[in-house]
Amino acid sequence: MIKSVAFAAETPGPKLLVLGAVHGNEPCGAVAIPHVIAELMTGKRNLVRGRVTFVPVCNPRAYAAGERYIDRNLNRYLVPQAHPDCYEARLGNILCGLLADCDALLDLHSTPRGNEPHVYVEPSNPAEYAYAAHLGLRTLITGWEDVYAATDRKAVEQIHPDEGIGTEQAVRRRGGLAALVECGQDGDPQAVEVAYRAIHNALKHFGMVEEKALASGATRLVRMTKVYYRDDNGAFTRPWRDFDPVEAGEPMAIRANGTRLCAPANGLVVMPQPDCALGQEWFYFGVEETRD
């Protein structure tokens, strides 16, 4: 069961969907969303147009256990399944219905190591870029679907064509706008504040509350070009931090068999997770792009 709370204004407008705890060990959205719900219920903040639907906890069992997921990552394979074969697949069918009924998505996440807060966005859509740029974070990231299309998985593994379909991609496929915010470190009160601010900025951007729209806060766009999985007990060449610069040919990590994973160009190490589980995303490589 997934609990949702919706508010609809008398004046028609956009339909915004706000998600928390798609991953059960990322509580910032689950904590921030109820504060906004309370403000709307008490009249502290008024919805003047459109509809906003909140789902504070998308993965209830994982959230109760403090785990990322129960059977598999809920933010993958988000397509309707006629015969769901696990807990997250059943939840995915529920989420697919909600995602199909929104014009814009705000999905709130966090990371174990407190990577710099940022927003995932598709910059080729000017409306989505403007939306993401108004959420109050400095860095926008793109390229998610491309890196999964050119995955670094082991050749012996079978890669499902829908692996890279998460909440954002499910909304974009329908022509909607999507923003996934990495708010900071799991359990950090500051990550909750980032999530809370992003919700209000989204409502302001779409003119759903009677508050002045914000100017763009984003200052850089980073395109991810490759994902590296932790397929063995290899190690980073140094304790990388999010968006650390790296030069072409510089080793970023070494596999257990001694294979060096070197930067394909001058760029940035993105979302390094040195202690992630085997088979999970270890780190990404990205390049900074200029945008008019």
Apex 40 CA angle, 100 and 5, nearest 5: 35
Which two tokens mark 38?
A: 């309370």
Evaluate whether 205 touches 134 at the Cβ level (below 8 Å).
Answer: yes
CA distance 94 to 41: 25
Q: Are strands 267-270 and 244-246 parallel, antiparallel or unpaired?
A: antiparallel
For residue 234, the one-letter residue type is G
Q: In sequence order, what are the residues at sequence separation of 6 or more whose Cβ sits closer than 8 angstroms to the Cβ of residue 155?
A: none
Q: What is the pLDDT of residue 237?
A: 97
pLDDT digits (tens, 9 = 90+) for 39-91: 999 999 999 999 999 999 999 999 999 999 999 999 999 999 999 999 999 99
Mean pLDDT by 10 residues, the chain (292 residues): 97 98 98 98 96 98 97 94 95 97 98 85 91 94 81 54 84 96 94 96 96 77 94 94 95 97 96 88 92 60
Q: Where are the alpha helices (DSSP H) in 104-259?
A: 126-133, 144-149, 167-172, 189-205
C-alpha dihedral sign at 63, 66, 70, 76? positive
Evaluate whether 216 touches 133 at the Cβ level (below 8 Å).
Answer: yes
pTM of the model: 0.87
The alpha carbons of the chain give a radius of gyration, in whole angstroms, of: 19
Q: What is the pLDDT of residue 161?
A: 66
CA distance 222 to 267: 9
Q: What is the pLDDT of residue 156?
A: 39
In terms of residues, how long is the chain?
292
Among 22, 110, 113, CA closest to 63 = 22
User: Which domains are present in the chain?
Assistant: 5-205 (3.40.630.10), 221-289 (2.40.50.100)
The 3-state DSSP class for residue 159 equals: coil
Q: Where are the alpha helices (DSSP H) in 100-229?
A: 126-133, 144-149, 167-172, 189-205
Q: What is the pLDDT of residue 112?
A: 85
Among 171, 118, 172, CA closest to 286 = 118
CA distance 107 to 280: 20
The 3-state DSSP class for residue 274 equals: coil
The mean of the pLDDT values for the chain is 92
Which two tokens mark 287?
A: 């390049």
User: Locate tokens 């766009």: which residue?
Assistant: 221
CA distance 122 to 245: 23
Sheet containing 260-262, strands listed edge to edge, beginning at the edge strand earlier in sequence: 235-236, 251-254, 260-262
User: Locate tokens 């639907």: which residue?
Assistant: 53
